[in-house]
């Protein structure tokens, strides 16, 4: 049911953003961990990644935070496969099933992302977020 609600909520939010130019100031709050330590938390770049994905820049979205396109792809396939299976009254058994592997994959993506970003800062003094606009 949550997937169905998201399926309708996301387009409504996009339309509100595009037509009314609604700006929520909560998305402009800085990361407390980054402000205090200079290192990135596991969620840093997520909002920019969502913004890039909504503007049809999947590569930029992946570079900002790889969990966002991963989650969008898993969600999209889950909803599409479940819809097809239900429309065919379970004759086509292609519906994606939820299992822990998808969550473990997401956790692995977050851990690797944090290690790469903060490793580049710690060992090479390179902020990868500054390089992303130059790459694309």
pLDDT at 19: 74
Mean pLDDT over residues 104-126, rounded? 97
Using the structure block, give the residue that is written with the tokens 């992302």.
113
pLDDT at 27: 55
| pLDDT tens profile 61-92 | 999 999 999 999 999 999 899 889 989 998 98
Q: What is the pTM of this model?
A: 0.80
Q: Which two tokens stand for residue 41?
A: 């938390």
- Least confident among 8-12, 48-52, 105-109: 8-12
pLDDT at 13: 74
Nearest to 94 by CA among 80, 75, 108, 114: 80
């Amino acid at each position: 049911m949550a997937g169905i609600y998201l399926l309708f909520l996301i387009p409504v939010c996009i339309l509100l953003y595009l037509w009314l130019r609604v700006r929520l100031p909560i998305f402009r709050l800085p990361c407390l961990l980054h402000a205090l330590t200079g290192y990135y938390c596991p969620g840093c770049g997520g909002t920019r990644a969502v913004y890039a994905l909504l503007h049809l820049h999947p590569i930029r979205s992946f570079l900002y935070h790889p969990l966002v396109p991963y989650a969008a792809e898993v969600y999209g396939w889950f909803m599409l496969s479940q819809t097809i299976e239900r429309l065919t009254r379970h004759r086509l058994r292609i519906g994606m099933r939820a299992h822990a592997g998808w969550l473990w994959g997401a956790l692995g993506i977050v851990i690797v992302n944090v290690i790469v970003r903060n490793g580049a800062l710690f060992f090479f003094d390179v902020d990868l977020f500054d390089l992303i606009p130059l790459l694309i």
